[in-house]
């Protein structure tokens, strides 16, 4: 009985560890997505910026 309880406890710890790692991975992926979106917004803003009267945003 003690061995079975010990195995269940170990399985529970592995389950919690798996859940923690899954949440950590999702948080990291979300932060990378936010960084990517911010970089894209910056690039798009710079791309459409007027430089010496020539607006690239108008396709000129």
**pLDDT of 6-35, one tens digit each?**
557 777 778 888 999 999 999 999 999 999
**pLDDT of 38-53, one tens digit each?**
999 999 888 887 656 5
Q: Which residues, 6+ apart, have CB-to-CB distance to 7 below 8 Å?
A: none
Rg from Cα positions in the chain: 25
Q: Tell me the whole-structure pTM to 2 decimals.
A: 0.58
Indicate if the alpha-carbon torsion angle 47, 49, 52, 58 is positive or negative.
Answer: positive
């Amino acid at each position: 009985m003690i061995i079975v309880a010990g195995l269940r406890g170990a399985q529970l710890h592995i389950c919690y560890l798996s859940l923690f790692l899954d949440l950590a991975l999702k948080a990291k992926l979300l932060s990378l997505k936010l960084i990517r979106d911010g970089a894209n917004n910056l690039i798009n803003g710079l791309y459409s910026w007027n430089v010496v009267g020539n607006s690239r945003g108008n396709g000129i």
